[in-house]
Amino acid sequence: MDIESLIFYLLATLLLIASLLVVFLRNVVHCAMALVTALLLIAVLFIILHAPMIGVLQVIIYAGAIMVLFLFVIMFLNPAVLEQQRGIWWGFGTILASLLAGLLIPLLGRDELPTDPVAATELFGSPEMLAKSLFNEFVLPFEIASVLLLVAIIGAVVLAKRGHKS
Amino acid sequence: MIVDFAIIFLKAALVLGMVLNLAGILGWIERKGSALIQDRIGANRASIFGFAGLGLVNTLIADPLKFLTKEDFIPPSGDKFLHTLAPCMALFPALVTFAVIPFGDVLNLGGRTINLQVANINIGILYVFAMGSLGVYGIVIGAWASNNKFSMLGGVRGSAQMISYEIAMGLSVIGVLMVYGTLELQEIARGQGALMRDLLPTWLTFLQPAIGWLPAWGIFLQPLAFLLFFTAAVAETKRVPFDLPEGESELVAGYHVEYSGGKFLMFFAGEFAEIVTAAGLVTTLFFGGWQVPYLLRDGFHFPWGATLLLPHLAVVLLQVGAFALKVVFFCWLQILLRWSVPRFRYDQVMRLGWKMLLPLALINVAVTAVWIVAAQ
């Protein structure tokens, strides 16, 4: 086994442990921190796949911004209240997870999976390539996504203002 | 192979050692400097066998010893595990960010070309922001795990402030990235070795006698970006005038009110390491990094035609020395700032971040874009 697969299996094991902790830990803040760990490990996976840009963006956006806001909200709410409502979602989550597993497990046995890792060129995942595909090929979806986010922001502001008046 | 590893290890040890030592020395400069500003004597009690030295050596030894031998108190109703983890999460990002900051050009030694930078990754500046965004966890988790209302308020203030100023900080750098056309900090530092006369477009050649001799440092090309970045960087270090998360007159000590001993020392050292990192970033992005004006790889080439050739080792030493001097200057400037201005009110902090820095940074990006197109 070469050193890259060794690192991969180590990371994958840690990632699985972190993800399981997200589900099974009792304290919501602990769950959030386990999720942060999982996101950081995914970032490392991106980096060993020669896509450091995506890995670092993963850290900036998910681990650095979104999860901080999650924690922000969790700390303002009372975690004990969230604890009681958890039981309802267990059944639903189990059904969804088994459906996903049913889709994924048959894929493992197939022969036509690419045996070579993706032939990564020097420029793959570089800022230049990302910018080129984002602002040439996919400029319309990109702009639509940003307008969608803008709508969400304006909606949030409107809701906050309405609550403020009454 | 082994030599390569040894070189990487040496560079990492050198940079980490410099950051930690400078952080320690800054702790002393802060006390002595504040005493100087407030017309007091300052820290002068520590002495070993009656030898007080300049106060520096003893303070460097006595301070950590005192911190490490104090009781490590964990609030009984707090979260033991996260309470212990939080100081590490606060210190770690502050220490590793310096890895991408170049402290010199290249060193040719025994047939090897050594890049004087610990980690040369082509997305250097994004790595800086990634580590900066992880710095919030130390505060938020430390505040929550203490199970104290003062801590909690400090943590909430801190996270809101850091997220707000991260955005302004990121946007203010974009102008610099556009001018030098790279995300790599070593390339940005190299780009600042040019002179203004190389960059002036043809329709501005009449300005050449006036500003042609200036080095193409970020401060001359992006002055507004420097002000915005420096303000945001000071806000990210959470020191006066942005020390709302600690605010001792309202929150006792904010997010680290329940910390003592070695763990408090880690928060404390993290804060000073952040100062050093902020100074390193300001130096690299706006003040030429390791560049000495007119010093090329073989010696000085002055704009009036004179040259002074220097041996390779002297050039490298000059560059590293210039970098260290600039970093120390900006550390000192931050400490001077901390003891000169009063604390903002919380709404003023938020207004400054969102209503002034953010729009100004956006305007800077737009103006820079127009300039780059016009200069072509």
- CATH number for A19: 1.20.120.1200
Task: Name the pLDDT band for B54 (thresholds 50, 70, 90).
Answer: low
Measured between CA atoms, the residue of chain A closest to residue B147 is A75
Q: Which domain holds residue B239?
A: 2-375
Nearest C-alpha of chain B: how many angstroms from A156? 16
Which residues span the domain enclosing A143? 126-166
Which residues from chain A sit within 8 angstroms of residue B155, using beta carbons? 75
pLDDT at B7: 85
Q: With contact defined as beta carbons under 8 Å apart, do B228 and B360 qualify?
A: yes
Q: Is the domain of A105 the same as that of A164?
A: no
> Do A145 and A75 share a structural domain?
no
Name which of A30, A59, A75 is nearest B134 (Cβ-Cβ).
A59
A41 touches chain B (CB under 8 A): no
Q: Residue B178: pLDDT above 70?
A: yes
CB B145 within 8 A of CB B73: no
Please indicate, yes or no, whether residues A101 and A132 belong to a single structural domain of this protein.
no
The verdict on a CB contact (< 8 Å) between B126 and A57 is: yes
- One domain for residues A88 and A11: yes
Distance from CA of A54 to the nearest CA of B (A): 10
Checking if the pLDDT of A119 tops 60, the result is no
| Angstrom distances, CA of residue B286 to CA of A46, B222, B279 | 31, 8, 10
Averaged over B164-176, what is the pLDDT?
A: 89
Closest CA to B87 of B40, B172, B146: B146
A–B interface: beta-carbon pairs under 8 A: 66
Residues A22 and A77 in one domain: yes
Q: Are A72 and A150 part of one and the same domain?
A: no
Q: A85 and A27 in one domain?
A: yes
Provide the number of structural domains found in chain B: 1
**CA-based torsion, A102, A104, A108, A113: positive or negative:** positive
B283, with CB counted inside 10 A (0-12, 13-18, 19+), is buried
Q: Does residue A89 sit in the same domain as residue A136?
A: no
Distance from CA of residue A115 to its chain's centroid? 26
pLDDT in tens, B277-332: 999 999 999 988 888 888 887 778 787 777 888 888 888 888 889 999 999 999 99
H-state helical runs in B181-305: 185-191, 196-199, 208-211, 218-221, 223-236, 248-251, 261-286
A69 in contact with B, Cβ within 8 Å = yes
Q: Is A27 left (phi over 0), alpha (psi -120 to 50) or beta?
A: beta
Q: Is 90 exceeded by the pLDDT of residue A150?
A: yes
Residues A21 and A92 in one domain: yes
User: B133 and A59: CB-CB below 8 Å?
Assistant: yes
Can you tell me the mean pLDDT for A15-39? 87
Q: Do A16 and A97 reside in the same domain of the chain? A: yes
Q: How many domains does chain A have?
A: 2
Quick one: pLDDT band at residue A38, thresholds 50, 70, 90?
very high
